[in-house]
Every structure is written in structure tokens, then in C-alpha cells.
């Protein structure tokens, strides 16, 4: 799970495995596998960093030393 912030400031956790697509136009928009879209304050680069860290923590990506 990754911690994100909605545009109104509410924080929530999202299962990163459900993410299908991430776009910035200009707000960061996350599209889930079920078609639901979520707009967040977190910028695209930070979101991708959090997703990669989550994948590493559950063993989906190899750890880099």
C-alpha cells in the first residue's frame, strides 16, 4: 500500500498493484484496473518512486545495493 493525498488534502492508502496507468494533466491522475480514476496532489515522479519502493518491499522488483 502507498500513502497518497487527494486534492482536498485527505490522505489515503492505495494498493499499488491495482494501478494500471498514471498521467499528469496537470494534476496527477491514477487509473485503476477497474477503470476508476483518482486525482491526487502527489506529483508523478514521487508517485512512481513510492510505487517502485512498494514493489521492492513485496519482492516484485529485485533490491538494488
State whether residue 48 is helix, strand or coil.
Answer: helix
pLDDT, one tens digit per residue, over 18-55 is 999 999 988 999 999 999 999 999 999 999 999 999 99
Flag whether pLDDT at 16 surpasses 90: yes
Q: Give 5's strand partners.
A: 11
Please state, in angstroms and rounded to a whole number, the distance separating the CA atoms of residues 13 and 61. Answer: 20
Please state, in angstroms and rounded to a whole number, the distance separating the CA atoms of residues 61 and 8. Answer: 32
Flag whether pLDDT at 65 surpasses 80: no
Flag whether pLDDT at 62 surpasses 80: no
Please state, in angstroms and rounded to a whole number, the distance separating the CA atoms of residues 55 and 9. Answer: 25
Reported as a pLDDT band with limits 50, 70 and 90, residue 61 is confident
Domain positions in the chain are 2-57
Q: Which CATH class is domain 2-57?
A: mainly beta
Amino acid at each position: 500500500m502507498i500513502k497518497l493525498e487527494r486534492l482536498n488534502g485527505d490522505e489515503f492508502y492505495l494498493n499499488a498493484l491495482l494501478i494500471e496507468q498514471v498521467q499528469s494533466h496537470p494534476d496527477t491522475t491514477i487509473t485503476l484496473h477497474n477503470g476508476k480514476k483518482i486525482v491526487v496532489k502527489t506529483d508523478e515522479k514521487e508517485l512512481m518512486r513510492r510505487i517502485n519502493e512498494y514493489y521492492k518491499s513485496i519482492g516484485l522488483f529485485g533490491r538494488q545495493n
